[in-house]
């Protein structure tokens, strides 16, 4: 039952300097600003404590993929970088391979390794397929949707689709009725088609700007339709590659941190340096940290981690906004009610950062994510 005191703690959207969090088992018992109610078990006067990160769009990391057998290894890699809640993303694949992937991730969800499944395709635009195998793209069919929902048994939490594809209206309705969040992405949809998808129940824009019809002053396309609707949360990959920093700032200012969810869209190459990798059926080369489909200029996900994205947006938008975009907003967008904030009764998921916002320790479900098999990580001990 550790009581943790820190030089700065972000509680809700309040910066508390100092602040404290009292953990009991897997939950937060209490928290507050100022000095703790009793001597702390862990005293971190030079640290910043924020909620665990929530990544709702990630394909792998640390050399492992959510598309393969090493689901645990990928999740553990990102947990060490502060992601305590992961929505594991699957790329477009054949019906058989997609069912296999869903069944494996459904088991991992029930085991608590990940928080659910994101189907990024296969109902996407061939014109904006990005790093998806265009041979696997198809129109949504009720029979396939029903089979995938049955295989997931409640673990499919989000799907990305292109609303202009035949059958998309029925697909959106089917998924929404099943309690699945529908995201618009990899799309050539018009402004009006996107508005229609939102009216049917789509509430997320998948990695805004990337792999979608670009904004044009006479045909604004999906970007403006997603940005201007208060019901929609927009994903942004704030790695300095997918979106220009000026565009990142403009979107945050226009939509507000309450509607921007930072995502890594990371692939197995994250944390592995430059080299050659596999992304589902495609070969990918990473050069200077940027992943591209071999022989093309097409960006193939990212090599980012959530702690990196947190530092980027905190530098420009402040700590409270960074917490919103890396924890609170994505949790709200997916209906994850037990995470996303440091508040009494929620999961004891938190990240400890130093004064430079470099990650030093992670707690998930009330347990320290260890680096040495001892009671808490070396980095944390250096801060006490």
Binding-site positions for Zn(2+): 120, 186, 207
Element (H, E) at 15: strand 14-16
**Has 22 been annotated as catalytic?**
no
Element (H, E) at 22: strand 19-24
Q: Which residue has the tokens 């296999």?
A: 100
CA-closest candidate to residue 261, choices 83, 8, 113: 83
CA-closest candidate to residue 77, choices 285, 242, 272: 272
Asked if residue 127 lies in contact with residue 179, where contact means CB atoms within 8 angstroms, the answer is no
**Local structure of residue 136 (DSSP, 8 states):** G
Task: List the beta bridge partners of residue 266.
Answer: 302
Handedness of CA 89, 284, 309, 237 (dihedral sign): negative
Element (H, E) at 222: helix 221-228
Residue set of the binding site:
120, 131, 186, 207, 210-211, 218, 242, 299-301
Asked if residue 351 lies in contact with residue 51, where contact means CB atoms within 8 angstroms, the answer is yes
Catalytic residue among 265, 274, 356, 371: 265
Catalytic residues: 265
């Amino acid at each position: 039952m550790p009581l943790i005191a820190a030089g700065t703690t972000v509680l809700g959207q309040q910066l508390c300097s100092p602040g404290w969090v009292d953990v009991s088992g897997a939950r937060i018992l209490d928290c507050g600003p100022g000095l703790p109610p009793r001597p702390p078990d862990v005293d971190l006067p030079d640290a910043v404590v924020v909620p665990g990160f929530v990544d709702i769009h990630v394909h792998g990391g640390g050399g492992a993929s959510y598309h393969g057998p090493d689901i645990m290894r990928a999740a553990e890699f990102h947990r060490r970088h502060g992601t305590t809640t992961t929505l594991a993303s699957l790329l477009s694949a054949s019906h058989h391979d997609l069912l296999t992937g869903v069944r494996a991730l459904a088991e991992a969800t029930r085991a608590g390794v990940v928080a659910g499944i994101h189907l990024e395709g296969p109902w996407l635009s061939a014109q904006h397929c990005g790093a998806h195998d265009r041979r696997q793209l198809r129109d949504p069919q009720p029979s396939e949707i029903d089979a995938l929902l049955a295989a997931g048994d409640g673990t499919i939490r989000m799907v990305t689709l292109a609303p202009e594809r035949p059958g998309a209206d029925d697909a959106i309705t089917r998924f929404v009725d099943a309690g699945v969040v529908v995201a618009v992405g990899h799309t050539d949809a018009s402004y009006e088609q996107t508005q229609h998808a939102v009216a049917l129940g789509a509430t997320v824009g998948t990695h805004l700007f990337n792999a979608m019809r670009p904004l044009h002053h006479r045909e604004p396309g999906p970007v403006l339709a997603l940005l201007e609707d208060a019901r929609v949360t927009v994903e942004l990959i704030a790695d300095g590659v997918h979106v220009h920093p000026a565009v990142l700032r403009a979107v945050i200012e226009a939509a507000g941190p309450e509607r921007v969810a930072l995502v890594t869209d990371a692939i197995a190459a994250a944390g592995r340096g430059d080299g050659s990798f596999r992304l589902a059926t495609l070969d990918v080369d990473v050069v200077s940290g940027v992943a591209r489909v071999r022989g093309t200029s097409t960006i193939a996900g990212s090599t980012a981690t959530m702690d990196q994205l947190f530092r980027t947006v905190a530098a420009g938008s402040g700590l409270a906004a960074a917490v919103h975009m890396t924890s609170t907003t994505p949790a709200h967008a997916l209906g994850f009610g037990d995470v996303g904030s440091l508040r009494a009764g929620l999961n004891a998921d938190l990240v400890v950062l130093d004064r430079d916002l470099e990650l030093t320790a992670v707690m998930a479900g009330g347990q320290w994510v260890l680096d040495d098999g001892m009671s808490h990580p070396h980095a944390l001990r250096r801060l006490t």
